[in-house]
Structure 1
Amino acid sequence: MKKIIIASCISLLMFSCGTSKKTVTKRNKRVVVVKSSEKEPEQENVTTPEIAPNTPEVYANSTEEYVAIYSDIAQDEMRKYGIPASITLAQGILESASGKGRLSVEANNHFGIKCHDWTGAKIYHDDDASQECFRKYNNSKYSFRDHSLFLTGRSRYSKLFDFEKDDYESWAKGLRAAGYATDRKYPVKLISLIERYQLHRFDAEVLGKQADNNDKHTVAKGDTMYSVSKKYKITVKELQELNGLEDTSLFVGQVLFVKPMPKDY
C-alpha cells in the first residue's frame, strides 16, 4: 500500500514539473516576440523630402532690380510730397548707377545730395571738385525722403509743382532749368530711363489712372521678333535691349516694350 502511495506522489510531482516547464516555455516565446519588435524602426526607410530654398528673383539687369526694390518708396514719396515716382526713380538710377555707385553703396546716398547745411554723417567723394562733402544715411529710405525735402524745401524748385504729376517730361526739363544738374542732357537721360523702363506706370498707379499701353505689344500667333520690330519701326537689337532678351524667341501672350529710346540718349 505504501508503495502505491509513494508511486502516486512521484507521478504527481513529475506532472507538476512538466506543467511548470511548459509555462516557462510559453513565457520565453512571449519574450522573443517582444524582442523582435525592436527591429521595426530599422525596417522603416522614411525619406524626408528636401525643402528647396526660395528661388531669388532674376532681373535682366541691375536697373530692373533697382526699380523693383525702390518703386514702392518712390510711390510713397509721391503721395506725401507730389514728386512723380517716375522722376524720383529715374534720378536715383542715374545718380546712383542703379544702386552700384560708391555713394549709394557706402553712404546710402542715391541722389548725390551734398552736405550744404547737413549736420549728420558725411562721406567725401570726388565730384565736380576733389573730395567734396556728401550726406550719409543709415538707410536708403532716408535718402529718398531727403530728396523729397530737398525739392520741396527750396524755392528754386517751386515751379516744378505747377506741372501735372504725370508730366514727367516737364519735370525732367524743369529740374535742369532750376539748376539741379549742369549736364545739358540731364532731361533727355531722365526721360529715356522713364520710357525705357516704363517708370511712368508708377505715377499712373498713384494717380489711379491706367498706364498708356501704346508702347507695348502682346505677342500673337505668327509674330516674330522681326515682324514686331518692323511694325513699330525699331530694330531687332533695340527690341531685344528694351526687353532684356538674349535671343529672338517669342511666345504667344508675351508682352514686349516697343517704344524706342530717344536717339540722343
Structure 2
Amino acid sequence: MFKKILFLFIALMLVSCHAGKSPIVTTKKAAVKNTSYSKKTKTKKARNEVIESTSRTVVTNDIVGNYVLQYKDVAMGNMKIYGIPASIILAQGILESGAGRGDLAVSANNHFGIKCHSDWKGSSVRHDDDSSQECFRKYDKVAESYKDHALFLTGKGRYASLFALDKDDYKAWAKGLRKAGYATDPRYPDKLISYIERYNLAQYDAIVLGIRYKPIENQSSSRIVNITAGSEGFYEVQKGDTLYSISKKYNVLVEDLKRKNNLSDNTLSIGQMLKVN
C-alpha cells in the first residue's frame, strides 16, 4: 500500500513539473528577438531631407552629392569669370532647385528661383511662391540658368557690396545675399552655410583661388560628401569624346544622354560631367 501511495506521489510530481514548462516562455523570447530586429532595421533606413524653396522637395545625401558633381565645374567657371564663390553658387543651386528635383528646375531649368522682373525678355512659367502664379524665368538648358544667376548678381546694384568681400568668405557672402534681398527667409544664410559645410563646397573656392583647403569635420548627423570625378552614375568628358562614343560605352541612347543632361545639341567640353545612368 505504501509503495502504491509513493508511486502515485511521484507520478503527480512528474505531471506537475511537466505542466510548469509552459511554451509561453519560448514565445516571449521570440517576441523580444523580433522586436530587437525591428528596431535595428528601422535605424538602418536612410533619412530623407526636405528642401523648402519654390517647392517642397524630398532628397537624400546622394542626390545632393550627385547634383554637386554635375555642376561643380560650371560653378567654378562662373567664379573665375564673375567673381562669385563656387560654394555660394552651388549652395544656392541646391537650395533653390531642391538639388535639381524642384518644380521650377524640372519644368523651366530654373535652378536659382529667379523671377521674371521687368527686364526679362525670355520665356517664362507661372508658379506659386510668395504670391499666387508669379512669373519665373525659363531656360532651355541648366547652364543658361547658372549664367543668368551670375549676370543677375553682377548686374544689380543692390548686390554690388558682395563683390568687395573675400572670395573665400562664404559666410559673409551668404549673409550678404540675404541682406541685399535675394531671399525673404531669415534663415537663408544659415541654410546656405549648412550646405557648404556639410558637403565641403568651399573646396571648389580653394581650387579656383589656388589655396589649400582644409575639409570641415563631419557635423550633426549629415555625412560629408567628397565629390570626385569617379562618382557612380557620372562620366567626365575626355578629349575626343562624342555623345555617340559615350552612348556606346554606357549602352544608352544619345537622345537619353541629352535628355538626362539637358543638352540642346551635341556639343561637349573637356571636363564636363555627364549623367550616364
TM-score interval for Structure 1 and Structure 2 normalised by the shorter chain: 0.5 to 0.7
Provide the rounded CA distance (Å) in 2 between the counterparts of 1:107 and 1:173. Answer: 27
Provide the rounded CA distance (Å) in 2 between the counterparts of 1:168 and 1:207. Answer: 13
Other-structure match for 1:83? 84
Other-structure match for 2:107? 106
Provide the rounded CA distance (Å) in 2 between the counterparts of 1:186 and 1:125. Answer: 20
Other-structure match for 1:220? none
Provide the rounded CA distance (Å) in 1 between the counterparts of 2:81 and 2:199. Answer: 23
For residue 98 of structure 2, what is the amino acid of its counterpart?
A
Q: Quickly say closer, same or farther: Cα 1:82–1:243, change in 2 above 3 A.
A: closer
Contact 2:200 2:224 in 1 (8 A): no
Other-structure match for 2:241? none
Contact 2:125 2:136 in 1 (8 A): yes
> What TM-score results when the alignment is normalised by the length of structure 1?
0.60
State the SS of the aligned residue for 1:133. Answer: strand
1:169 equivalent to 2:133? Answer no
State the SS of the aligned residue for 1:242. Answer: coil
For structure 1, the 5+ residue unaligned runs are 1-58, 217-231, 245-265
> Which structure 2 residues correspond to residues 6-155 of structure 1 after superposition, within 5 A?
60-116=61-117, 117-155=119-157
Higher RCO by CA contacts (8 Å cutoff, separation 6 or greater):
2
Q: Percent identity between the aligned chains?
A: 57
RMSD over aligned Cα atoms: 1.6
| Offset, 1:147 | 0.3
Provide the rounded CA distance (Å) in 1 between the counterparts of 2:169 and 2:176. Answer: 11
State the SS of the aligned residue for 1:182. Answer: coil
Other-structure match for 1:204? 206
State the SS of the aligned residue for 2:223. Answer: helix
Provide the rounded CA distance (Å) in 2 between the counterparts of 1:68 and 1:212. Answer: 19
Contact 2:168 2:205 in 1 (8 A): yes
| Offset, 1:119 | 1.1
Provide the rounded CA distance (Å) in 1 between the counterparts of 2:179 and 2:120. Answer: 24
Q: Quickly say closer, same or farther: Cα 1:142–1:192, change in 2 above 3 A.
A: same
| Offset, 1:67 | 0.1
| Regions of 4+ moved over 6 Å | none
Residue of 196, 204, 217 corresponding to 1:194: 196
| Offset, 1:123 | 0.6
